[in-house]
């Protein structure tokens, strides 16, 4: 009896060690190992399907519920990871720079959420989907801070007075409380950039998150998300030159359900309103971030929003949907391009493009780009037949 017990315990120990070795060898969870073993024996175990997803477009919900169709961007970041976040896009109809590119995007690499690489980088495109580094330019646009732990983030780019203007944030964690500074650099060709000018500085822990800057034809306006009265609130400032900014004005935000609060924002000007991509989260650090459409009819002091813009339908956005950049589609009133960042369940960050259409105060995903491509192919086909 004693020998049988020892034998059974030895078998159990061997199986356990084999189980652990298999898990480590193939980087699998216990659930995945069980599924693989029983599937080899022909035993169906649907409940034990592994939770990991191998592809970014793996659907997290039924086909008929995954109603937005984003396109993931392939960006050659300087660190080589291709993991990237916080896009901001400027559209220049007549083109700009040596290649007369129409789309210019600033974003930041974020490999494995390592803030050391979170420095603004620059990419150009003719269609907003295929992106490259401008001729004669080398990323990153801004190098890492000299002190480990300090980092850059949150670039915002716009085209003004025949130049590209780029604002970005520097966080100095080596001081207590954290210091946050906003810098401005400019370029007349997209390759050679000016020395950074500090335009805002906060040493009280307000954060100065996600600057969003526009020029309304008369002045510059900037929105940030800051800690005011122990809350994350949207704040507006104005400036005649983009360098000297007014005192902050706290904005009102209606329609965001508790316990969510504003986290990041991007603003674009329309003829009768300001439209924004608003990111909300729970707690600090962007936890459970999701994207909303927001609008303002009083120059950005009062904002209205509603529910989430679209579902977390795919693996690449399973963890969070993050900061986005919104532009009106040239020649198509009411149609928009959205570039938004997201993180998968393993916190791999990427940027996706999506077409939207606005119905009064609602913004909805659409497939106009795909339909347009089909229409062009049909036209080419007809011309060939003639």
pLDDT digits (tens, 9 = 90+) for 11-37: 777 777 776 665 655 555 565 566 556
* Cis amide prior to 369 (ω within 30 degrees): no
325 neighbors 212 (Cβ within 8 angstroms): no
What band does 1 get if pLDDT is binned at 50, 70 and 90? low
Could you tell me the domains of the chain?
2-52 (no CATH), 64-372 (2.115.10.20)
What mean pLDDT do residues 72-98 have?
97
Structure tokens at 5: 């017990």
What pTM was estimated for this model as a whole? Answer: 0.82
Structure tokens at 191: 């390759």
pLDDT tens per residue, range 150-162: 999 999 999 999 9
Rounded to the nearest 10 degrees, the angle between the axes of helix 30-40 and helix 2-25 is 110
Q: CA–CA separation, 16 vs 18, rounded Å?
A: 5
Instruction: Name the residue among 332, 337, 330, 331 with its Cα closest to residue 363.
Output: 337
pLDDT tens per residue, range 321-348: 999 999 999 989 999 999 999 999 999 9
In this prediction, what percent of the chain has a pLDDT beyond 90?
72
Q: What is the pLDDT of residue 369?
A: 45
Structure tokens at 322: 């993050």
Q: Give the rounded distance of the alpha carbon of 67 from its chain centre.
A: 19
Q: What is the pLDDT of residue 376?
A: 47
Helices (H), the chain: 2-25, 30-40, 368-385
Residue 183 pLDDT exceeds 90: yes
Q: What pairing do the DSSP bridges indicate for beta strands 163-172 and 151-160?
A: antiparallel
Residue 368 pLDDT exceeds 90: no
Q: CA–CA separation, 132 vs 368, rounded Å?
A: 24
Partners of 293 in the beta sheet? Answer: 277
Q: Which residue in the block uniquely carries the two structure tokens 């130049």?
A: 163
Residue 91 pLDDT exceeds 90: yes
Burial status of residue 66 (CB atoms within 10 A of its CB: 0-12, 13-18, 19 or more): middle
Q: What is the pLDDT of residue 382?
A: 38
Burial status of residue 93 (CB atoms within 10 A of its CB: 0-12, 13-18, 19 or more): exposed
């Amino acid at each position: 009896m004693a020998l049988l017990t020892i034998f059974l315990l030895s078998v159990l120990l061997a199986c356990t060690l084999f189980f652990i070795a298999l898990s480590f060898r193939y980087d699998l969870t216990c659930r995945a190992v069980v599924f693989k073993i029983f599937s080899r024996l022909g035993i169906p175990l649907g409940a034990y399907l592994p939770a990991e997803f191998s592809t970014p477009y793996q659907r997290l919900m039924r086909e008929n519920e995954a109603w937005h169709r984003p396109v993931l961007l392939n960006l050659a970041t300087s660190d080589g990871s291709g993991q990237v976040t916080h896009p901001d896009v400027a559209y220049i109809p007549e083109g700009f720079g040596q290649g007369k590119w129409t789309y210019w995007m600033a974003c930041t690499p974020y490999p494995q959420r390592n803030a050391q690489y979170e420095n603004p980088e620059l990419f150009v495109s003719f269609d907003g989907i295929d992106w490259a580094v401008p001729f004669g330019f080398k990323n990153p646009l801004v190098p890492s801070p000299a002190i480990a732990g300090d980092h850059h983030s949150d670039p915002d780019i716009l085209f003004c007075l025949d130049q590209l203007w780029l604002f970005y944030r520097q966080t100095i964690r080596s001081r207590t409380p954290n210091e946050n500074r906003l810098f401005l650099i400019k370029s007349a060709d997209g390759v050679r950039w000016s020395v950074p000018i500090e335009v805002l500085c906060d040493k009280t822990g307000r954060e100065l998150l996600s600057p969003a800057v526009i020029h309304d034809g008369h002045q510059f306006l900037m929105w940030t998300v800051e800690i005011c009265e122990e809350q994350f609130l949207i704040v507006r400032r104005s400036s005649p030159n983009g360098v000297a900014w007014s005192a902050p004005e706290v904005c009102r935000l209606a329609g965001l359900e508790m316990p969510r609060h504003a986290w990041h924002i991007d603003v674009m000007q329309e003829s009768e309103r300001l439209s924004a991509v608003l990111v909300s989260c729970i707690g600090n650090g962007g936890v459970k971030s999701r994207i909303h459409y927001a609008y303002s009819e009083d120059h950005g002091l009062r904002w209205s929003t509603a529910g989430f813009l679209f579902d977390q339908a795919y693996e690449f956005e399973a963890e969070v949907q993050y900061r986005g950049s919104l532009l009106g589609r040239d020649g198509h009133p009411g149609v928009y391009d959205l570039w938004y960042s997201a993180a998968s369940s393993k916190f791999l960050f990427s940027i996706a493009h999506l077409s939207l259409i606005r119905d009064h105060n609602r913004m909805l995903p659409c497939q106009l780009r795909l339909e347009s491509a089909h229409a062009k192919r049909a036209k080419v086909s007809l011309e060939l037949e003639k």
